Structure 1
């Protein structure tokens, strides 16, 4: 997913690098909560714990910051959580006086031999809905045109 926001990367990156802002940009139905206390010292190796509900099922999620390169990008991966694999690159590139934000997500849902069906029926739709919601909230917060 790619989105342009009318804010330079140096101003936008701090918003994304505060893990507690995930609560603001995640759909309410997930009841997403950051469990790691503030302030979180973001850098390579930082671990962040979350609690959420996926389709009503309570889950815990732990991510690790694998790469930290402010204000250009950072990468988080799931250590424990609902996916077999979650690798999320957040990229911030200056463009036209603002920032092009690009999310590159590689994931593998649970499910063994049924993984493809589970992904098609549930997981892919949920992930797309989460990022659509996030884009709408970011437009409201940063005044995308």
Structure 2
């Protein structure tokens, strides 16, 4: 959809919520998801960080290149459009493969540890079937990511 502003939420999106509990304090989990090293460790091979904010806050930019499985690298730029220190942040795609992408990361104390919730809201521009296929792929990527986060927080 040429000329469409990717920051504008379409009428119909697909939401994917992934909830995981960690045996670590909330401040440690939040620090991990904000760190460049933590991000790269959680991502599949082929993701390269071109720009990462020194300090997170609204308006900061994440710029990535993702050359998965030998395909032509995809440039993915997101702006932090919501930030609550120690609790949550949202990144909104302004350039990338989706018609719309907004990913909210939230951490909160839960029992003796922390509950981490990812809420991904997407539109592929390919209708419900395209969104479902993308959501299945995204959901599949969360398993390895969460396992690597558990490992990083154990130390």
TM-score scaled by length of structure 2 = 0.79
Are 2:102 and 1:87 aligned?
A: yes
Deviation at 1:60, TM superposition (A): 0.2
The aligned length equals: 136
Q: Looking at both structures, which has the greater relative contact order when contacts are Cα pairs under 8 Å and sequence separation is at least 6?
A: 2
Q: Any stretches of 5+ residues in structure 1 without a counterpart?
A: none
Structure 2 residue aligned with 1:13: 30
Q: 2:66 aligns with which of 48, 52, 55?
A: 52
Structure 2 residue aligned with 1:127: 138
Q: Any stretches of 5+ residues in structure 2 without a counterpart?
A: 1-17
TM-score scaled by length of structure 1 = 0.84
Give me the whole-angstrom Cα distance separating, in 1, the residues matched to 2:80 and 2:102. 10
Structure 1 residue aligned with 2:9: none
Deviation at 1:129, TM superposition (A): 1.7
Structure 2 residue aligned with 1:139: 150
Cα deviation code 1:86-116 (max 9, x no counterpart) = 11111101011211000011011143xxx33
Structure 2 residue aligned with 1:65: 80
Q: For the Cα contact (< 8 Å) 1:45–1:66, is it kept in 2?
A: yes
Q: For the Cα contact (< 8 Å) 1:18–1:40, is it kept in 2?
A: no
Give me the whole-angstrom Cα distance separating, in 2, the residues matched to 1:140 and 1:52. 23
Cα deviation code 1:5-37 (max 9, x no counterpart) = 011111221111124422110122xx0111016
Root-mean-square deviation (CA), in Å? 1.7
Cα deviation code 1:21-68 (max 9, x no counterpart) = 22110122xx0111016x622111001100002452310000101111
Structure 1 segments, 4+ long, off by >6 Å, are none
Structure 2 residue aligned with 1:36: 51
Give me the whole-angstrom Cα distance separating, in 1, the residues matched to 2:37 and 2:122. 22
Cα deviation code 1:70-90 (max 9, x no counterpart) = 211111100100101111111
